[in-house]
A and B are shown apart, each in its own frame.
Chain A
Amino acid sequence: MNFDVSVLVRGVEGIADPEGRTVERALGALGFAGASSVRVGKVINLCLSADDTESARVEVEEMCDRLLANPVIERYEITIVPTKTS
């Protein structure tokens, strides 16, 4: 089966996120006074061929632990959906 995988990597809660703070200030400068707690992360999308959703998840978790995220400063969330066939 083919899966569309999306990995959201973000900084550990409680660790300073200077990029998020800068974006927050810029939003404030644009007049979006209600915006707060801005955090910037990154999204890594990939297509994966695997037997089933569970084995796909195991494989993506290994990708995250070994390469896509640094456990010292980052956390990740994985979304896996079967690829739509037209």
Chain B
Amino acid sequence: MNENIAIIRFPGSNCEFDVEEAINRIGAHARIVWHHEHDLEGFDGVIIPGGFAHGDYLRCGAIARFSPVMEAVASLAELGGPVLGICNGFQVLTEAGLLPGALMRNAGMRFVCETVTVEVASNRSALTAEVAAGTRLRLPVNHGEGNYICDAETLSEIESSGQVVLRYANNPNGSLNDIAGITNRTGNIVGLMPHPERAFDLVVGSADGVPLLRSFVHSVEAFAKCRVVVGQV
């Protein structure tokens, strides 16, 4: 069993087992990795799960970005390795500068915990590559700081280059341009506030997270093959 997807666990992470279960159900193999690890040798993809890393002290993700493992995450991302941040993981990726913008307190101070409809806005990312733009998905959200913001220049850049990958049909948190998820210029780093791992079976209300996670898993497999061909360690 080749466990080549690392799920990073910080003190305060709480969705790592859900992510592991969802990834395993897709037929891939993930292993939970403690944030003190310095290298991610043997891993071809990374998922930063939801929760409250380091208690969300100071700002969500502000302390987590300095965890030792984050340098290894940035190195893998630099090589083109798929990196996915879900909810708190998205906040960590923006604080780390791996994704543009920031996530602020929800409009109206309202913590949102419900299943919402999102639309795939672009399929040029590791998470959405196999889902057609325009597809509507039902996914759970569960956050107090999901209000995406960035400066006007960044917004026009991410909008024009297809880096906005998911949009809310009914904005639950005040997010700029209804943004629910974004990617970097090369499409291998993705962050989203909704939880695809909690929508893995109709038994839990929706299976709409499966095509997204499957797409991510296939992106990891493609990167792993490409690495072997190129001869990287």
Contacts and interface: CB of A to CB of B under 8 A. Distances in A.
Interface of A: 15-16, 18-19, 22, 67-68, 70, 72-73
21 contacts: A15-B104, A15-B149, A16-B104, A16-B107, A18-B105, A18-B106, A18-B107, A18-B108, A18-B109, A19-B109, A22-B109, A67-B58, A67-B66, A70-B59, A70-B62, A70-B95, A72-B101, A72-B149, A72-B150, A73-B104, A73-B149
B151 interface: yes
B211 interface: no
A58 B102 CA distance: 25
B174 interface: yes
A8 B3 CA distance: 45
Given A15-B104, A15-B149, A67-B58, 15 more contacts: A16-B104, A16-B174, A18-B105, A18-B107, A18-B108, A18-B174, A19-B105, A19-B109, A22-B109, A67-B62, A68-B58, A70-B62, A72-B102, A72-B150, A73-B104
Contacts of A72: 94, 101-102, 149-151
Nearest to B106: A18
A16 B58 CA distance: 19
Interface residues of B, number: 18
Interface string B64-90: 001000000000000000000000000
Contacts of B59: 70
Nearest to A74: B59
Interface string B7-35: 00000000000000000000000000000
A19 B101 CA distance: 20
Contacts of B62: 67, 70
Interface in B103-159: 104-109, 149-151
Nearest to B65: A67
A70 B59 CA distance: 8
A7 to B, nearest CB: 11
Nearest to B154: A72
A34 B132 CA distance: 53
Contacts of A15: 104, 149
B49 to A, nearest CB: 22
Contacts of B105: 18-19
Contacts of A68: 58
